[in-house]
Amino acid sequence: MQKYDIAAYIWPAYTGDEPRTKIFWPEDIGEWQTVRDAYGEVKENGYVWKRKPLLGFQNEADPKVMEQQIDLALSHGVNVFIYDWYWYDDRPFLENCLNDGFLKAKNCKDMKFYIMWANHDANYTWDRRNAGKLWDTIWRGDVTMEQFYKIGRRWIDQYFKCENYYKIDNKPVISIYALKNFVKGFGSIEKTREAIMWLDQETKAAGLDGVHFQFVRWNGKSENISGVDGGTIETTNELMSELGFNSLTHYQFVHFTNVDRDYLDLLPDVQKEWEQVAEIYDVPYFPHVSIGWDNNPRFKDFSWGVCKNNTPENFEKALVAAKDFADKTGVSLITVNSWNEWTESSYLLPDNVNGYGYLEAIKKVFKDN
């Protein structure tokens, strides 16, 4: 058993098996369509994005593909997948990669997983043909209490009961991406607390020990960031305590610091954020490491905010810092963005630019030692 749990987020859009993705990517290959079309495109300032997956444009809702990816992850020290999970228009969205790919892989039980409910509104961020309509809402991410009852029972029946579902203190972990939308749907802090207590009680009634609620911190203030999905709410320690959350982590460096600079220049600010968060909150903070940020593949025009010099060697420095922080604060879970966020240029999977370098960095810091 590893001393550290290295959990990589998975963006489950690299499949054409979800019919509703056709409005974003009509060619039945999911967001691989964007990755393919963005390759080698020259923008007005001379910017060019030239990345290709070494493993090819794989359908990640295929269990044989996920068997290969699970082996790749485990051999390099990544032992937990955090699946982005969606619910739009009163039904699930993009479940195929988890349900048909990962959970049907022959070796899936060798790998732990848990869900991050990506409950932000859906807009045209995913459709480079209509990037000018960025904030036009297609589906809302907030839900009513009645809808949450359906969601919660689905989580319990399909996922929480899996023997390889990731648990903390023997409780299945559920992560909430957009706290602002979470509260908005229920209408008040009190109703949100009721929803959380309900899910905890339902999970206990199903024979489990309750739920470990984790929230994704942005920068602690209520605002939107251009080109990034979602928004935030004021996330004070008092609010987290009132709601009953048990831990927190981050999803991306871009949520709380300026990434339009050298990777080594932003790392001190990242470490400062870790320290501040650990001091502010009474619940554990699990340190987060992002590989980089550049979401230009999703836009025809140049999109500002490109992380520079985020080489595997510099990523390794961030991992060492996260390991040291985890040791100092007594936590063992470290989250990484991400396994496969190709169109945000923050992924562990091997490519034509860095090969297996990012995976080798994780292996060197967390597995070989």
Q: What is the pLDDT of residues 351-369, one digit of tens each?
A: 999 999 999 999 999 998 7
Give the least confident one: 151-165, 223-237, 338-352. Answer: 223-237
Whether the predicted pLDDT of 57 surpasses 80: yes
pLDDT at 99: 98
All residues at 6 or more sequence positions from 179 whose CB lies less than 8 Å from its CB, including other chains: 215, 216, 232, 233, 235
DSSP state of 12: -
Name, of 218-222, 225-229, 359-363, the range with top average pLDDT. Answer: 359-363
**Distance (Å, rounded) from C-alpha 296 to C-alpha 298?**
5
Whether the predicted pLDDT of 134 surpasses 60: yes
pLDDT at 221: 58
What residues pair up with 214 in beta bridges, in sequence order?
A: 175, 247
Q: What is the pLDDT of residues 182-207, one digit of tens each?
A: 999 999 999 999 999 999 999 999 99
The three-state secondary structure class of 240 is helix
* Residue at 127: amino acid letter: D
Closest by CA to 340, choosing from 21, 42, 25, 55, is 55
Whether the predicted pLDDT of 222 surpasses 50: no
Tokens of 8: 């990589």
Domain boundaries of the chain, sorted by first residue: 5-367
Q: Is residue 223 very low, low, confident or very high in pLDDT (cuts 50, 70, 90)?
A: very low
Indicate the fold that domain 5-367 takes in CATH: TIM Barrel (3.20.20)
All residues at 6 or more sequence positions from 330 whose CB lies less than 8 Å from its CB, including other chains: none
**Distance (Å, rounded) from C-alpha 201 to C-alpha 313?**
46
Q: What is the pLDDT of residues 275-285, one digit of tens each?
A: 999 999 999 99
Mapping DSSP onto H, E and C, the string for 134-180 reads CCCCCECCCCCHHHHHHHHHHHHHHHHCCCCECEECCEEEEEECCHH
Whether the bond between 175 and the residue before it is cis, its omega within 30 degrees of 0, is no
**Distance (Å, rounded) from C-alpha 344 to C-alpha 291?**
10
pLDDT at 226: 37
Give the least confident one: 169-173, 219-223, 265-269. Answer: 219-223
Q: What is the pLDDT of residues 66-101, one digit of tens each?
A: 999 999 999 999 999 999 999 999 999 999 999 999
Mapping DSSP onto H, E and C, the string for 251-319 reads CCHHHCCCCCCEHHHHHHHHHHHHHHHHHHCCCCECCEEECCCCCHHHCCCCCCCCCECCCHHHHHHHH
In the predicted model, what is the mean pLDDT of residues 124-137?
84
Whether the predicted pLDDT of 302 surpasses 80: yes
